[in-house]
Copies of this chain bind each other. A is one copy, B any other.
Amino acid sequence: MSALLPPLAVSIGDPAGIGPEIVAHAWAARAAQGLPPFFAIGDARAIAAVWDGPVEVLAAPGDAAAAFDHALPLIQVDDPGEIVPGDPNLAGARCALDSLEIAVGLARNGMAGAVVTGPVSKAQLYAIGFDYPGQTEFIAERCGIATANAVMMLAGPSLRTIPVTVHLPLAQVPRALSAELIVAKGRVAARALCRDYGIAAPRLAVAGLNPHAGESGTLGREDIDIVRFAVDALIADGIDAVGPLAADTMFHASARALYDVALCMYHDQALIPLKTLDFEDGVNVTLGLPIVRTSPDHGTAFGIAGKGVASPRAMIAAIRMAGECAARRAA
């Protein structure tokens, strides 16, 4: 299948972060890790500053497959000048945004099999006028998809979770939660697990908001009024959903065996179990897009950039998963 798939586009993210080195190390591990062909989009000098392996600057993305065997194929963006690892600047932020935009465009045009995005600094992007909450919203808009239908899923070897609400203060979560929101994310998740992950009838486990899923209402009504209502609506849609489940007893191994994805009501309910179990291998996937998009679930790590200690594991996992999902779509 993957022979038919164009190489994947990997944006290096902020060139002063660990993006350049983890993309390069993922390429170096391509054979051992069985990675599909990919090319980087970013700055050659930023990569050379942190890695002494071969880089081949491409004239066109179509040349990537031929180069992949012997060098890291690279689409060069506008030269950002000298990049110092660990010391981000505005030229680097422009490089990161260019890389992202080109990657999405190539995937939209079918010239890249999927997009894998390296870590960016939101603070740096905001400083150059970027006005999206994050890369995901930018990509959704470029794909003509409403942000609400671009669903963040965290996926590791042990577990997949979706935070139904994401970056909110905890006090705002109960008000922000609605049955509509849960149902919308559940539908996108069910479709995507079927299309991109080959799971014919995905099983959704829906976490309760309150301790013990509200203990029949004595610990809060939301699990009855909102979560159970949403689960019933998903079931009425023909989706295999169960819940609300007590969140504390749904993430151990034998509980995880009963579902394909956990819908969680807030950020830490989804991220605590994922990062507890799969800290180094966590992949952030955007479901519901016309293109496949994954990302390593970590930040720029400016503090260790260029020191040779950043682990490429999550980048490798993100590239592998993007290739698998794209191959399933192409099949």
CB pair A276 B251 closer than 8 Å: yes
The number of residues on chain A lying at the interface, defined by a beta carbon within 8 Å of a beta carbon of chain B, is: 39
Contact: A248 with B267, CB < 8 Å? yes
Whether the pair A267, B168 counts as a contact (CB closer than 8 A) is no
Whether the pair B170, A268 counts as a contact (CB closer than 8 A) is: no
A54 CA to B212 CA, complexed, in Å: 37
| A220 proximity list for chain B (CB < 8 A) | 169-172
Given contacts A252-B279, A279-B252, contact A169 B272 (CB under 8 A): no
Check if B173 sits within 8 Å of A170, measured CB to CB.
yes
Closest chain-B Cβ to A136's Cβ sits at a distance in Å of: 15
Chain B residue contacts of A271, Cβ below 8 A: 211, 247-248
Say yes or no: B272 contacts A272, CB within 8 Å: yes
Q: Which of B172, B268, B277 contacts A269 (CB 8 A)?
A: B268
Question: A211 — which chain B residues lie within 8 A by C-beta?
Answer: 166-170, 266-268, 271
Are A272 and B275 in contact, CB atoms less than 8 angstroms apart? no
Query: Does A33 make an interface contact (CB < 8 A)?
Result: no
Judge whether A99 is part of the interface by a CB distance below 8 angstroms: no
Give the complex CA separation of A268 and B273 in angstroms: 11
Contact B169 A219 (CB under 8 A): yes
Q: State A171–B220 Cα separation when bound (angstroms).
A: 8
In the complex, chain B residues whose CB is within 8 Å of the CB of A275: 248-249, 251-252
Q: Is A210 an interface residue (CB 8 A)?
A: yes
Contact status A219-B252, CB under 8 Å: no
Determine if A105 is an interface residue (Cβ-Cβ < 8 Å): no
When C-beta atoms are compared, the residue in chain B nearest to A247 turns out to be: B268
5 contacts between A and B (CB under 8 A): A167-B219, A170-B209, A269-B272, A272-B276, A276-B276
Besides A170-B173, A170-B210, A251-B275, 14 new A-B residue pairs in contact (Cβ under 8 A), listed by A number: A168-B211, A169-B214, A169-B219, A169-B221, A170-B222, A170-B266, A171-B222, A249-B275, A249-B279, A251-B276, A252-B280, A253-B279, A269-B272, A276-B276
5 A-B pairs with the lowest CB-CB distances in the bound complex, closest first? A169-B220, A248-B271, A252-B279, A211-B267, A171-B174
